[in-house]
Amino acid sequence: MRDDEVPFLLLAAGNALVAAIDEQMRERGFGDIRPAHGFAFVRLSGAGCTLVELAEHLGMTKQSASTLVAELERKGYVARSPHPDDRRATLLQLTSRGVDATRAATEAGRAVVRRWKREVGAARVDLAAEALAPLAREGRVRPTW
């Protein structure tokens, strides 16, 4: 395989994964969110975060993150509350619907990997994952669009 083919293949596989998860999310009743929302959910899950932390994670301005949060709040996925450690800050957390969407996306991702294993073989998928693991950056999963 030529070196110039590898970036295309990685990007194409990533796009296929996102598209398949998006399709399954719609089938599971979460048709009102976009793949970009999932990148926000990654940072909002668990203990939550501030708007500044979310904006940094997503690589966007505070104003853009605020617009995104307002949309997710209107749709019932995110709630705001006083920050327990900083009276000046607001804590953003997933609601139960947000947690359900995150779980559905995780299961959708697993289903795609299971399909890939059936299509090309479990050993090949596992080998690709092992090879990519040291190349993947820890923590920051964000949209590029």
Segments making up each domain of the chain, as ranges:
5-135
Between 140 and 91, where is the model more confident? 91
Between 145 and 23, where is the model more confident? 23
DSSP string of 8-54? Answer: HHHHHHHHHHHHHHHHHHHHTT-TT--HHHHHHHHHHSTT-B-HHHH
pLDDT digits (tens, 9 = 90+) for 73-123: 999 999 999 888 888 889 999 999 999 999 999 999 999 999 999 999 999
What topology does CATH give the domain 5-135? Arc Repressor Mutant, subunit A (1.10.10)
Q: What is the pLDDT of residue 141?
A: 58
User: Does residue 49 have a pLDDT over 80?
Assistant: yes
